[in-house]
Structure 1
Amino acid sequence: MLSVLQTNFNGIDGLTYQNGPRPQLTDNGVIIRMSVVPISPTDWKLESDANATNEQLANLPRVIGIQGTGRIIEVGRNRNESLLNQRVLVVNPSGVYSEYVLSENPDWIFPLPDNVTNDAAAALSAGTALTIKHEIDISSSDNLVITGANSVIGLTLLQMIDEQQRKIYPVVTAMSKEYFQEQMPGLTSYTRKEVPQLNGSTLIVDIVGKKDLLNHLATKTNNVQVVSIALMKDDELTQFKFIHDEFSSDNYRRFINQLSSGQLKPIINKTFQVKQTKEAQHFAKETHSRGRVLVNFDAS
C-alpha cells in the first residue's frame, strides 16, 4: 500500500513515498480504496512547521491530507453492508494520502450521487466559503471587497452569495483578471490600483493574507471592517476579525447536494499522480490560483 508521509519539517521536498501493509478492518470500520485527494495549503504549512500545536499533527511520521474520495471495499460487522462498493467523500484527520484508508466514524463518510464525480467532490472547498458567507450575511456594509477573488475559496464564495443591495469588488492580480472573467462573466474584477474610493461602509473579506494590500484597501473607505481567513491580526486595522471554519457533517451533505443539482460548480485546475505529490504541492503553492489541484491514486 502506497502512502505519502511527512517524516520531518523540511517542507514539501521532505515528503516520502512509502509502501506498507493495508489497514486491518475493524468491527466499526470500513476500508476505502482512495481515488482522488486535493492539495491543501494546510499540508505544506504543516510540513514546514516544527511548532505545530495540534498534538496529532505534530506527531511524525504522519500520512498527509484530511479529505478525499474513494470507494468502500470492505465493511465491518457493525456497519451497514449497503455501504459496500459505494463511492464516498471521506474526512479522515489521521490522513487520506494512502491507497487504503480505515474510517470508523460514520459521520465523516458521505455517499456520492452518480452525477457527482470523484474529482468534483474531492475539489470541494466550500466550508470556508460558507463561514465567510455567514459574516457577509450579518454585515450591513454598503460595499463588499474580496481579496483573492480568483482563488477556489473566492470563486466558491461568489457562487454562494446573491448580493443585490451592495456593490461587490472582487480584487485580483492583473494576471488573473482574464481567468476571473471566464469564471464569473457577470462580475467586474479590480486590481489593487483599480479599486475606487468607496462611499459608505465597507466589508473587506481577506482570503490572501497580505497586510499591505489590506491596509491599502482600507484607505479607499472611511468606514471599514475586515474579516480574514489568512491573518490572525493586523495591528493597523481597528475593526479586524480572524475567522475559520469548523467541520459540519450537515454542511458537507449540503455541498454534495449542491454539486449534484448544479448550484455549486467544481473549480479544478490540474491533476497529478500520487507519486507526483511533491510536484503537485509546488505547483499549487507557486503558481497563480486557477482552481483546485488534485492527486489521483487510480493510475498509481
Structure 2
Amino acid sequence: MRAIRVSQYGGPEQLKLEEVPRPEPQAGEVLIRVHAVGVLPMEWKLRRGLFQGRMPLTLPYIPGSAIAGGVEQVGPGVETFRVGQAVFGRTSKGGYAEYTTAAIENLALKPEGLSFVDAATISGGATVAFSALFENAKLQAGQRVLIHGAAGGVGLFAVQFARWKGAAEIIATASAQNEAFVRALGAQTVINYAKTRFEDVVHDIDVVLDTIGGETLTRSMQVVKPGGILVSLLEEPSQEEATRLGIRAMSNKPSFPWPSTELLQTIARLMTEEGVKTEIARTFPLHEAAQAHTLSETGHGRGRIVLLIH
C-alpha cells in the first residue's frame, strides 16, 4: 500500500510517499481502508522532533491518527464491527496511509448523514474540546466561558459545545477575519486578539479553555473568577499562581484522549441531530501531505485540514 513515512526528524520534506506492507489486524483490531485523515498540529510538532523527550517515536513512522474509512477486515475475536461498515475514530498505527489498523474501543460507526471528511475532524478536535469542557472543567449551563483560538480545529467545536450546554455567555478570541465565523458558531462576544488585550475587557469567568499556551495562558489566569477553572491544552499552568488567585488550573495535555466509542458516538449525534458542524480549511491528496503540514504550521487557519486517501 501507499503511505507517508517520516524517516528522520525535520521539515515537511521529510514526509515521503512510499510503498509499505499492508498491516494485518490483531486481536481486538480491524483493518480500515482509509478515506480521510485529519491533519493535527501535534503531527508537525512530532515530525520536527519537538517531543522527543516525552513522546519518542520509532523511526521510520507513519503520521496521522484521526481517521475515517471502511472496515476491510476484522481481527481475531472482533464482533463489534463487520466488513463493509463505515467507521471513524483514532488509530495509533498511522493514518496517512491507504490502510491502517485500529483498536475497536477507539472506533464508532459513521452515521450516514456524516461525510468521511467531516468524520475525520472529530477525533483530536471535537473529542479534545468535549473532554476539556465537560470532563475536566465540568462546564454547566448558566456559566460564563472564555475560549481562546475559537476558529481553530478545537476551538470551533468548543464554542458550539458550550452553546449546546447552555452557557450563559460565550466569549471567544479570534483574528479579525474570523470574527463573523466565530459569532455564527455561537459566541456572543468575539475579541480581536491583535487589537484588544482580553484581560482588559473580560473578568469573572467560570471556565477558560486555553488552546494557545505561553503568555495567553499566563494572562488568562487573571480573568478566572475565584473558584473557577482554567484548562490548558498545551502546558501545565502554574499551580502556585492558581493557589494565589483562588482558582483551579489544569492541563488537558496528558489526556489528549484516545476517544471511546461512546464519546465518538455522542459527538457524531451532536453533528447529525443538534446542528454542531465542523469547518474544513482545506483538503489535500495523500501525496501532498507536506503541503498540508506547511499550512498547518502557519497556525492561523480556520477549521481543520484533511488528507483524502481513497
What is the TM-score of this pair, normalised by structure 2?
0.81
**C-alpha distance in 1, partners of 2:144/2:267?**
27
Counterpart of 1:64, as a letter, is P
Counterpart of 2:305, as a letter, is V
Paired position in structure 2 for 1:180: 182
Q: For the structure 1 residues 216 and 79, does the alpha-carbon distance in structure 2 shift closer, same or farther, using more than 3 Å as the test?
A: closer
Q: For the structure 1 residues 67 and 201, does the alpha-carbon distance in structure 2 shift closer, same or farther, using more than 3 Å as the test?
A: closer
Paired position in structure 1 for 2:8: 8
Paired position in structure 2 for 1:153: 154
Does structure 2 retain, via aligned residues, the 8 Å contact 1:197–1:220? no
| Deviation of 1:116 (Å) | 1.4
**C-alpha distance in 2, partners of 1:214/1:60?**
33
Q: For the structure 1 residues 175 and 235, does the alpha-carbon distance in structure 2 shift closer, same or farther, using more than 3 Å as the test?
A: farther
Q: Percent identity?
A: 19
| Deviation of 1:203 (Å) | 3.6
- Unpaired segments ≥5 residues, structure 2: none
| Deviation of 1:180 (Å) | 2.2
| Deviation of 1:236 (Å) | 8.5
Counterpart of 1:48, as a letter, is R
Q: SS of 2:302's equivalent? A: coil
Indicate which of 242, 246, 250 corresponds to 2:251. 242
Q: For the structure 1 residues 71 and 220, does the alpha-carbon distance in structure 2 shift closer, same or farther, using more than 3 Å as the test?
A: closer
Q: For the structure 1 residues 236 and 172, does the alpha-carbon distance in structure 2 shift closer, same or farther, using more than 3 Å as the test?
A: farther
Question: Where does 1:1-300 land on structure 2 (aligned, <5 Å)?
Answer: 1-24=1-24, 29-49=29-49, 52-53=52-53, 57-76=56-75, 78-80=77-79, 83-103=82-102, 105-124=103-122, 125-134=125-134, 135-137=136-138, 143-162=144-163, 166-181=168-183, 183-184=184-185, 187-192=188-193, 193=196, 195=198, 196-198=200-202, 200=204, 202-211=206-215, 213-217=216-220, 223=226, 225-234=229-238, 237-238=241-242, 239=247, 240-244=249-253, 245=255, 246-247=257-258, 248-286=260-298, 288-298=300-310
Q: For the structure 1 residues 75 and 228, does the alpha-carbon distance in structure 2 shift closer, same or farther, using more than 3 Å as the test?
A: closer
Q: For the structure 1 residues 111 and 264, does the alpha-carbon distance in structure 2 shift closer, same or farther, using more than 3 Å as the test?
A: same
Does structure 2 retain, via aligned residues, the 8 Å contact 1:172–1:191? yes
Q: SS of 1:58's equivalent? A: coil
**C-alpha distance in 1, partners of 2:21/2:205?**
58
Q: SS of 1:61's equivalent? A: coil
Structure of greater Rg: 1
**C-alpha distance in 2, partners of 1:30/1:24?**
8
What is the TM-score of this pair, normalised by structure 1?
0.84
| Deviation of 1:50 (Å) | 6.2
Q: For the structure 1 residues 78 and 292, does the alpha-carbon distance in structure 2 shift closer, same or farther, using more than 3 Å as the test?
A: same
Q: For the structure 1 residues 6 and 231, does the alpha-carbon distance in structure 2 shift closer, same or farther, using more than 3 Å as the test?
A: same
**C-alpha distance in 1, partners of 2:139/2:270?**
23
- Unpaired segments ≥5 residues, structure 1: none
**C-alpha distance in 2, partners of 1:178/1:68?**
29
**C-alpha distance in 2, partners of 1:198/1:98?**
45
Counterpart of 1:102, as a letter, is T
**C-alpha distance in 2, partners of 1:81/1:171?**
41
**C-alpha distance in 2, partners of 1:109/1:150?**
26
**C-alpha distance in 2, partners of 1:107/1:59?**
24
**C-alpha distance in 1, partners of 2:222/2:89?**
44
Does structure 2 retain, via aligned residues, the 8 Å contact 1:197–1:221? no
Does structure 1 retain, via aligned residues, the 8 Å contact 2:208–2:229? yes
Q: For the structure 1 residues 175 and 242, does the alpha-carbon distance in structure 2 shift closer, same or farther, using more than 3 Å as the test?
A: same
More deviation, 186-195/278-287: 186-195
Superposed CA deviations along residues 172-192 of structure 1, whole A, max 9, x for unmatched, are 1233223323x3266231123
Q: For the structure 1 residues 61 and 171, does the alpha-carbon distance in structure 2 shift closer, same or farther, using more than 3 Å as the test?
A: same
| Deviation of 1:167 (Å) | 3.3
* Aligned length in residues: 294
Q: SS of 1:5's equivalent? A: strand
Counterpart of 2:48, as a letter, is S
Superposed CA deviations along residues 50-101 of structure 1, whole A, max 9, x for unmatched, are 652466x521111111120111223456444971111111422121211122
